[in-house]
């Protein structure tokens, strides 16, 4: 029996950039075996060294997680859709997540401003007063955070917390529409605060130009009713999720990559948390960020406004929030899919035997693979100017560009051999182990993964990572090249 296996963008480099495959198999195990047989490079991405499915990957058959069915033995009907969902980073008539705050009245000006809300019986005067009394924290003021801030301000959320530690860059402007060209170089929180004030001067803003850490997360999040996760890294996602679960607050989640987005509400009081769905993050570099792989500019607007919609529903009450549901959107194919997600009774955070009770005791760097273990051989890097010196001196070197063809079209690296990262293990014989091999990518992160991949595959030659990637070459060596 044939079924369609849908491949998300983050894993397509291991399947020859194919988005779906028609494979034969009557169970999930047989289909995954067929997938690996047809695309051998996918084995490392999907399975660990013991042959177990990696914990950051979920498998759905016709919208249902196989964890809730029969696992790998789940039967797959002919013509079914089997979807691989890796980590990226309710019911009707429900009550509001905030308590009643009768002191919040609406002025005549507010009644005029929010009249289109007041005409909705699902919102009405009571719902708008709840919005005015609500306190919402947005963590991350990039692609997702900017539409969140704009629509929550326009909706009349009384207090909006804005947390980010970055400054506005020119490359942000393609999608982070709250910022303007004149804001380049300014802290994102300052730019967003000005924009919110211009949208709705009745809204209060509290700006945090800092990183969210295990030391400050509970204190900051504790001041808010709801947190909207608009971050772009796994450490922040797990930190926000854990703090929200400990404090009993909803985590309105959004994630995106290239043309694909995800949205859900992780609320441990009523459903699964982020850890229930993704017990651990992928190895560093395996799932690229938007900065490495790109994102179509409108996608964060779509996912961010979905997050804003979820925040509004949680405040107003009623509706069907995305608790226990993961919404997956493919902008290129214009398809939405809804996947059921369940609470994991063995979750270390919100399960029956939970053992994560304090953030400070949990090492997020180690958990997310950001802290190098002593037994792990370090990855050596080379500076752009040093590489240029060695090239000019005619030293024997092999330079390997692991980027995809469409990315190399933006800027080419001189004298580089082209081997996409998904092909490295099986093409290692093309490298000379007697000379230094330098791996290059955009920012120097995927090339670290490339070196680790080759080490695991048994390659013994000397390997180096071009520190900070081809962008630093354009900045420090050849200024005629663009940075992207």
DSSP state of 385: H
Instruction: Answer whether 307's CB lies under 8 Å from 228's CB.
Output: yes
Q: Which of 39, 244, 290, 368 is catalytic?
A: 290
Q: For residues 139 and 230, give the distance between their C-alpha atoms in angstroms, rounded to a whole number.
A: 6
Residues 6 or more apart in contact with residue 322 via CB below 8 angstroms: 90, 263, 264, 265, 310
Q: Phi/psi at 86 (nearest 5 deg)?
A: -85, 165
List 244, 273, 350, 441, catalytic entry: 441
Residue 118's alpha-carbon distances to 66, 159, 315, 404, 466, in angstroms, are 43, 20, 15, 51, 57
Beta bridge partners of 251: 227, 266
Question: What is the full DSSP assignment across 36-69?
Answer: HHH-TTHHHHHB-TTSPBPTTEEEEETTEEGGGT
441 tagged catalytic: yes
What is the rounded CA–CA span in Å between residue 365 and residue 234? 10
Active site residue 347: no
Residue 412 region, left (φ>0) first, then alpha (ψ -120 to 50), else beta?
beta
Which residue(s) pair with 65 in the sheet? 60
d(CA 275, CA 359): 14
Contact call for residues 260 and 282 (beta carbons, < 8 A): no
Active site residues: 290, 441
């Amino acid at each position: 029996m044939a079924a369609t296996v849908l491949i998300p963008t983050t894993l397509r480099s291991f399947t020859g950039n194919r988005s779906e495959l028609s494979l034969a198999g009557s169970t999930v195990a047989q289909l995954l075996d067929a997938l690996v047989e047809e695309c051998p490079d996918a084995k490392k991405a999907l399975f660990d060294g013991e042959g177990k499915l990696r914990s950051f990957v979920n498998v759905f058959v016709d919208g249902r997680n196989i964890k809730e069915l029969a696992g790998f033995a789940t039967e797959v009907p002919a013509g079914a859709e089997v979807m691989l969902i890796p980590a990226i980073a309710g019911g009707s008539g429900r009550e509001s997540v905030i308590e009643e705050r009768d002191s919040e009245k609406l002025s005549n000006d507010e009644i005029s401003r929010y009249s289109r809300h007041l005409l909705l019986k699902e919102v009405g005067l009571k719902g708008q007063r709840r919005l005015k009394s609500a306190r919402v924290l947005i963590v991350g003021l990039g692609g997702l955070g900017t539409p969140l801030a704009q629509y929550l301000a326009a909706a009349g959320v009384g207090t909006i917390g804005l947390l980010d530690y970055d400054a506005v860059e020119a490359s942000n402007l393609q999608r982070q529409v709250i910022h303007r060209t004149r804001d380049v170089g300014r802290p994102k929180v300052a730019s967003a605060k000005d924009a919110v004030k211009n949208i709705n001067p009745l809204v209060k803003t509290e700006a945090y130009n800092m990183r969210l850490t295990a030391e400050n997360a509970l204190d900051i999040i504790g001041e808010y009713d709801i947190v909207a996760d608009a971050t772009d890294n796994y450490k922040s996602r797990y930190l926000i999720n854990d703090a929200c679960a400990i404090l009993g607050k909803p985590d309105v989640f959004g994630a995106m990559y290239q043309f694909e987005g995800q949205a859900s509400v992780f609320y441990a009081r009523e459903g699964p948390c982020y850890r229930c769905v993704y017990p651990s993050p992928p190895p560093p570099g395996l799932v690229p960020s938007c900065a490495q792989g790109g994102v179509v500019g409108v996608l964060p607007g779509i996912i961010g406004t979905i997050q804003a919609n979820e925040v509004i529903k949680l405040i107003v009450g009623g509706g069907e929030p995305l608790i226990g549901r993961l919404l997956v959107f493919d902008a290129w194919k214009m398809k939405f899919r809804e996947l059921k997600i369940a609470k994991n009774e063995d979750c270390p955070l919100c399960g029956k035997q939970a053992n994560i009770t304090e953030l400070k005791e949990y090492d997020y760097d180690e958990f997310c693979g950001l802290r190098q273990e002593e037994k792990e051989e370090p990855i050596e890097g080379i500076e752009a100017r040093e590489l240029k010196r060695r090239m000019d001196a005619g030293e024997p070197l092999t330079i390997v560009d692991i980027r995809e063809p469409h990315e190399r079209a933006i800027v080419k690296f001189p004298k580089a051999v082209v081997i996409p990262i998904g092909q490295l293990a099986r093409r290692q014989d093309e490298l000379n182990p007697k000379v230094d091999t330098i791996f290059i990518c955009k920012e120097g992160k995927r090339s670290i993964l490339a070196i680790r991949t080759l080490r695991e595959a048994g390659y013994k030659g000397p390997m180096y990572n071009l520190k900070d990637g081809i962008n630093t070459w354009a900045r420090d060596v050849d200024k005629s090249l663009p940075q992207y």
